[in-house]
Amino acid sequence: MSDKIDQKRREFVSVAGLAAAATVVAPGVFLQATAEAEPRSEAVTGKVRYGMLIDTNKCVDGCTDCVTACERENGLDLLKMPEGADPEEWDRQRPRWIRKVKVKDRLTGKVTTLPMMCQHCEFPPCQDVCPTGASFRRADGIVMVDRHICIGCRYCMMACPYKARSFIHEDIDEKLTVAPRGKGCVESCNLCVHRRDNGETTTACQEACKEGAILFGDLNDPNSEISQALRQQNNTELRADLKLNTGVRYRGI
């Protein structure tokens, strides 16, 4: 009988000991995790400038893999049409960070298909016109919206020469931690900024493109793949006449 009790006591003590150990160790593990995330608290530097090279020769007509991947990555696919909305109307109102566009040359008739998104200008008109400074350019070249101070005036949408921005027209039920959003604010492609902060080297659209038409990288590093590719062949800046020095460049248009 007493042996049995002792056994129970032993079991209790060992469980209690484990629990106590867990209580002591867990914060350590947690702290360790915090320590690993330390770089996030460091300011982004201008040593790098993120950008993209899009090879339209490789971009396939009718393929929307980059669009689908972007919408999944940034939670755009979680948005639901509000009850009572007209589907056609809502399609014009729902946000898109990247879209496929097909263009025909006025002289030669050559047809090109390409993905369009925020061009991450060095001198972004959206940043110039924003009254509160919510529309801003990070030191690493990423142009994005601080949704804490965006008042939803939509002047940036008027000013963007690439029609890259979307306004959130409806209530948001579900969103991803990496891409917070709220009704009444403006947003656009941020080159998967959460991936940058996690030290990843790709964007969702680049990963999704089976043809390798999208190349993402550091424009300031002369040895990066994107810098080398830009040097090798001619590339185009959309609306080069505006002299915005875009971070997104196109090949084959």
Partner 1 sequence: MKKIHYREWGIESPRYWGILAILGVLLAVGGLAALYMEHNGHWVTGMNNQIVWGVPHVFAIFLIVAASGALNIAAFSSVFGKEIHKSLGRLSAMLAMSLLVGGLLVLVLDLGQPTRLIVAMTTYNFKSIFAWNIFLYVGFLVIVAVYLFTMMERKANKYYPTAGLVAFVWRLILTTGTGSIFGFIVARQGYDAAIMAPMFIIMSFAYGMAIYLLMLMFTFKLEGRPLGEKLLGRLKNLLGIFAAAVFYFVLVYHLTNLYGTENHEYEAFILRDGGVYTALFWIGWILLGLLVPMGIVFHPALGKTHGGIIAASLLVVLGGFVAMYVIVIGGQSFPMAMFPDKVIIESGFYDGVNGQALHYVPSIWEFLLGLGGVAVALAATLVGVRVLKLLPMSLEDEIVDPRQG
Do residues 40 and 197 touch, judged by C-beta distance below 8 A? Answer: yes
Q: How far is the CB of 82 from partner 1 (least distance, A)?
A: 5
Beta partners for residue 114, in sequence order: 101
Strands 248-251 and 50-55: parallel
Do residues 82 and 170 touch, judged by C-beta distance below 8 A? Answer: yes
Q: Which is nearer to partner 1, 44 or 155 (CB)?
A: 155
Do residues 220 and 48 touch, judged by C-beta distance below 8 A? Answer: yes
Contact status: 239 vs partner 1 (CB under 8 A): yes
Q: Which is nearer to partner 1, 8 or 243 (CB)?
A: 243
Do residues 251 and 54 touch, judged by C-beta distance below 8 A? Answer: yes
Do residues 55 and 253 touch, judged by C-beta distance below 8 A? Answer: no
Binders of partner 1 among residues 46 to 105 (CB under 8 A) are 64, 67, 82, 85, 89-90, 92-96, 99-105
The contact pattern for partner 1, residues 186-225, with x = CB under 8 A and - = no contact, is x---------------------------------------
Contact status: 185 vs partner 1 (CB under 8 A): yes
Q: Which is nearer to partner 1, 66 or 142 (CB)?
A: 66
Number of residues that bind partner 1 (CB under 8 A): 62
Q: How far is the CB of 89 from partner 1 (least distance, A)?
A: 7
H/E run at residue 240: none
The residue behind tokens 């940058």 is 196
Q: Which is nearer to partner 1, 185 or 191 (CB)?
A: 185
Angle at 241 between CA 236 and CA 244, to 5 degrees: 80
Binding footprint of partner 1 on the chain (CB under 8 A): 64, 67, 82, 85, 89-90, 92-96, 99-107, 111-113, 116, 125, 127-133, 149-155, 157-163, 165-171, 183-186, 238-239, 241-242, 253
